[in-house]
Amino acid sequence: MIAEIVSLSGYESQISALLDEEERMAMEFYIACAPEDHPVIPGAGGFRVVYCSLTEPGQIYMAAIYAKSRMENLSAADQNVLAKIAAQIRKATKGGR
CATH number for the domain spanning 24: value is 3.30.2310
pLDDT digit string, tens, across residues 19-30: 899 989 988 998
Q: How many domains does the chain have?
A: 1
pLDDT of residue 61: 92
pLDDT of residue 97: 46
pLDDT of residue 96: 47
Instruction: Residue 81: give the domain boundaries.
Output: 4-93
Cβ atoms of 79 and 23 closer than 8 Å: no
Identity of the amino acid at 60: I
DSSP three-state, residue 74: coil
- The residues, any chain, with a CB within 8 Å of residue 35's CB and separated by 6 or more, are 3, 51, 53, 60
**Sign of torsion over alpha carbons 31, 34, 36, 40:** negative
pLDDT digit string, tens, across residues 43-88: 666 888 889 888 777 899 999 998 888 887 888 998 899 899 888 8
pLDDT of residue 77: 92
pTM above 0.85, yes or no: no
Nearest to 63 by CA among 74, 21, 71: 74
